[in-house]
Amino acid sequence: MEHYIVSARKYRPTTFASVVGQKPLAAALKHAIATDKLAHAYLFCGSRGVGKTSCARIFAKTINCEHRTDQGEACNECESCKAFNAGTSLNIIELDAASHNGIDDMKALIEQVQMPPVDGRYRVFIIDEVHMLSSAAFNAFLKTLEEPPQYVIFILATTEKHKIIPTILSRCQIYDFSRITISDMVSHLSMVASQEGIQTETPALGVIARKADGAMRDALSIFDQVAAASMGNITYQSAIDNLNILDSAYYGRIVEAMLGGNVPAALVIYKEVRDKGFDSQFFINGLGLYMRDLMLAMHPATINLLETDEEEKAQMEQTARKCPPQMIYRAMDLCNDADLNYRAAANKQFLVELTLVKLCQLCSPSPGNSGDGEGQLQPIAAPRAQSSPAPQPSAAPAPASPAPAPAAPVVPPAMPQAPQAARPAAAQPIKRPSISLSIKGKGRAAQPPVAQEAQAAYNSGPKQAQPYTQEALLSAWVAFADARPTERILVNTMLACKPVEVEADRYFVPVDDAIQVDKINEFKLEILAHLRQSLHNDNIDFDARIAQRGASPVTWTNREVLQHMVAEHPSIEGVINEFGFKMA
């Protein structure tokens, strides 16, 4: 009976041509051998399973070959090649620095360096995981590495180059191995399957390649696992079942529920995922990555960044066309927030379900909805100060659909408001501080590319330019803030900082710090859409800037401050009288 050998060993590269995914690097090594321009020390860097040690062995075998082929490969027929293939060559010494990392091990290696080769031109020392050497071993190795005998070549391999001291790096030629692409893995796995007589489906090989995360050795090990479990017939379903991978079809169904605002469907899909035994955080992270892939698939310049096969890219591109860009960006943000809050959440299932509810509200028809409002319901709160609408020109076109009548404003009973005409402040106008603008934090108020793209899409429609009053603008401004009670920073900023007209339809919003600038800019597109829709004027625009406020021209005493507070809120006077407070 033939002894079974795992695919990772059986199909390990033995020539430069058989190395997967490292063609430029292999070509450079072959050229160095062909021109006899060999360095005394090489450092091969890269993640696990990308071919560092395999290339080191092929390089060591090829430089000692007596009759290299025209393609620069070892002949496998000379005595040196035969000894290497049989594992009896004395010219190639391998050391695992993970288990031989002390100064005594390094001294033993240095003693071997002094022995010239029995046959062949070079003695090659391959030190794997060299970053595991101790500081003392590194220091003992420095002199030998810098000036070895002419017949010695060192090949160091590591997965963590940053842990190697600079004095070692400066003595080596450094070759960085790249992660193996999905397409290269699928091609190699297909070749292995044909050699082994195993039936495969291309999507199943794509699942295995993505699971391997750029490591060919891991891909071959996973391939053996799935092949054994599926009795030599690797299908897409058998691959995701045996590897416990959440099928991307679930995420596609979630996106369909988001586009339709179908909250029950999203919650049912989430239950199916939990019933299959998948962790909720794994699910929400996977959904965030799926939305990221949709973002990449939206544009031809970024679709190639998807690490998947061509069939999957085409499917992702088709799904991305259905999704508004702003929905995808907001969905990524919500999934990231859920991931950050997952560990601290007392009820993790509720956290994920709440995130799914918000996701399904992203495409709801509510004005300026950002996933934090009432979904398909109209806003509960109406503008605080409702002014009479501006007269409409008779020639102006009527809107496509009548705007819903705003609900009556709800005033909390704990804060009674005096009639505006009865306020003492109206009879004695108060001098306000003068404002002089100075822009802080250059570039902070600029719109990101995502906002520019959404703004361009908005501006592509028919324009409206109906006149409006300043009071109507402020009412729409306050209404937007009232409709988002959960956005505390935004609400407080908008209520405290009102737009000031610079020129026709152009305003600036003077704020106090950079946090307020960032928050206003985050919601700028939604605010503009709300203002333009409410006032039927597409020319409205504003910028948030940090305002440097000058000193107040009038300094109030404590008694004047109290009098002003009582004038603004008459209920305070009753509290003062009840408890007998006095102002000195």
Residue with tokens 């002089």: 436
- Would 104 be classed as within a structural domain? yes
Report residue 575 as tokens. Answer: 């509290």
Residue 284 to residue 356: CA distance in whole angstroms: 9
Of 197, 217, 242, the last residue of a domain is 242
pLDDT of residue 580: 73
Cβ atoms of residues 537 and 468 within 8 Å = yes
| 540 and 487 part of one domain | yes
Q: How far apart are CA 478 and CA 74, in angstroms?
A: 78
Q: Is 387 within a domain?
A: no
Which neighbouring-strand residues pair with 435?
549
**Mean pLDDT, each 10-residue run in order, the chain (584 residues):** 80 88 90 89 91 91 87 86 86 87 88 84 90 89 88 92 89 91 89 90 88 88 90 87 85 92 93 90 92 91 82 86 90 93 92 94 61 44 44 44 44 41 39 37 42 50 80 90 86 87 87 86 90 88 77 58 75 76 63
Q: Quick one: 171 and 34 in the same domain?
A: yes
d(CA 188, CA 194): 10
439 within 8 A of 511, measured Cβ to Cβ: no
What is the pLDDT at residue 436? Answer: 36
128 and 219 co-located in one domain: no
Q: Where are the alpha helices (DSSP H) in 174-215?
A: 182-196, 202-212
Q: Are strands 41-45 and 233-234 parallel, antiparallel or unpaired?
A: unpaired
Q: Could you tell me if residue 380 is inside a domain?
A: no
The distance of Cα 91 from the centroid of its chain, to the nearest Å, equals 48
Q: CA 163 to CA 142: how far, in whole Å?
A: 16
Token output for 84: 């290497």
Tell me, what's the pLDDT at 373? 44
Q: Are residues 133 and 31 in the same domain?
A: yes
Could you give the C-alpha distances from 70 to 67, 73, 77, 280, 343, in angstroms and in order? 9, 7, 15, 57, 60
**How far is C-alpha 250 from the chain's CA centre?**
20
| Shared-domain flag, residues 119 and 105 | yes
Amino acid letter for position 152: V
Check whether residue 226 and residue 252 sit in a common domain.
no
pTM as predicted: 0.57
Residue from 196, 164, 139 nearest 44 by CA: 164
| Residue that has been written with the tokens 């490591």 in this structure | 215
Evaluate whether residue 382 is within a structural domain: no
End of a domain among 360, 380, 406? 360
d(CA 399, CA 417): 35
Bridging pattern class, strands 506-511 and 541-549? parallel
Terminal CA-to-CA distance of the chain, rounded, Å?
Answer: 104
**Domain co-membership, 11 together with 133:** yes
Q: Which amino acid is at 114?
A: Q
Is 445 within the bounds of a domain? yes
Same domain, 32 and 128: yes
Domain edge (last residue) among 155, 176, 197: 176
Structure tokens at 384: 């605080």
SS3 assignment, position 494: helix
Does any domain span residue 159? yes
Q: Can you give the pLDDT at residue 440?
A: 38
Please count the structural domains in the chain.
4
The whole-number pLDDT of residue 578 equals 74
Residues near 5 by Cβ (< 8 Å), separated by ≥ 6?
none
- Domain span holding position 335: 248-360
Residue 63 lies in a domain: yes
Looking at the structure, do residues 264 and 160 belong to the same domain, yes or no? no
**DSSP string covering 248-316:** HHHHHHHHHHHHHT-HHHHHHHHHHHHHTT--HHHHHHHHHHHHHHHHHHTSTTTGGGS-S-HHHHHHH
Q: For residue 299, what is the domain's CATH number?
A: 1.20.272.10
The two three-digit tokens of residue 296, written as one number: 């990449």
- The CATH code of the domain that includes 229 is 1.10.8.60
42 shares its domain with 167? yes
Instruction: Looking at the structure, tell me whether residues 213 and 266 fall in a common domain.
Output: no
Are the beta carbons of 334 and 361 closer than 8 angstroms?
no
Confirm if 91 and 120 have CB atoms less than 8 A apart: yes
- Distance, in Å, from the CA atom of 185 to the CA atom of 190, rounded to the nearest integer, reads 8
3-state class (DSSP) for residue 339:
helix
pLDDT score recorded for residue 249: 87
Q: Specify the CATH number for the domain of residue 62.
A: 3.40.50.300
Q: Which amino acid appears at position 303 of this protein?
A: I
Q: Decide if 93 is inside a domain.
A: yes
278 and 335 co-located in one domain: yes
